[in-house]
Amino acid sequence: MSKQRIGVLTGGGDCPGLNAVIRGIVKSAANRFGYEVIGIFDGYRGMLEGNFTILTSDKVSGILTQGGTILGTDNKTNPFGVVEHVNGERQVVDKSDACVDFYNDLGLDALIAIGGDGTLTIAGKLAEKGLNVVGVPKTIDNDLMETDITFGFDSARTTATEAIDKLHTTAQSHHRVMLVEVMGRNAGWLALESGIAGGGDIILLPEFPYHIDEVVAAIRKRHRFGKKFSIVVVSEGTYPEGGHQVYRKIVEEDTSAPARLGGVSNVVADQIEEKLGIETRVTILGHLQRGGTPTPFDRLLATQFAIRAVELVDERKFNHMVALQGNKMVPVPIEKVMGKQRNVPKDHYLLKVALSVGTSLGVPMEKVVNEQVGT
């Protein structure tokens, strides 16, 4: 029998731990099962362009601690909706058959897709066209359904927490209000957990549209009791009650995410200065949260995801994503993940934790308490 062959790609935004997954897949495929691994460059764009390499244990040696991905990634290419210009007109073309041809031409027995909701949704659609797919959950936003946590989140949470720690000293020294804007899109996990860990005084989440009067009241109360500085942790996707999210840029050519969030902290800062007259500064962490070496937690998690993904290939349990549920690595049907997003539940215990230590969520406390008890 010929050696079985697994394809692997990394899609969406980069994050710490991607190389750890690639390494785990290659080493376990070779050491336990004798499979050959084909690395596909630049996500689904590599499948359309036929850009790949054979990955061996030697090629992945030493990459466990490296950030980024040796395969490159792409967060724009959707094979089911490729933007083309024909005779000066913009058209969206389905080129997914080219991915199927690539898969068959290389004689792949399975494709392991490492990515977030966009990457795994595309993987699920390719499964519907006959490809044997296994998904590995990756995102710093921690917003994928069916898994307790995604790799990359802990590293981003650590980066955000360290930034909040550092801003405390300058905020205290200059008696300023410091706003720290973190990523997360429409899910507030990163802001909530780094905000609690970093001792943020106010945390603004997409799940609870903020009231500027509540933000101002929290800062004024701190001043009244001698705390002449405040730290506000802002999720990029938050917005005011009755208002809209703030977009840094709209890119019509980008079919995956044409509206790019960012800058809401500047809006909040201007409102605080106007109402309180306190010097206010903004730090937007941006892509710092995606970079650097993965934390030990993410290295362990990524490696476990990788091993279980190869086991699913060997078990021929395709069209599933590996998920961490409790302390177990379990397969979940990929359709349960496709097109869905895991937000912070309004009865989540961490919200109670934040309120218990005196952190404001920028909304009337009774609103959060009522959500907690389900009224």
Catalytic residues: 141
Is the distance from CB of 125 to CB of 102 less than 8 angstroms? no
List 203's β-bridge partners, or say none: 233
d(CA 23, CA 60): 5
Q: In 3D, which of 97, 151, 82 has the Cα closest to residue 309?
A: 151
Quickly list DSSP for 278-299. --EEEEE-GGGGG-SPPPHHHH
Helix (H/G/I), strand (E/B), else coil: 131: coil
First vs last C-alpha separation in the chain: 62
Quickly list DSSP for 7-60. EEEE-SS--TTHHHHHHHHHHHIIIII--EEEEETTHHHHHHHT-EEEE-HHHH
Longest dimension (CA), the chain: 77
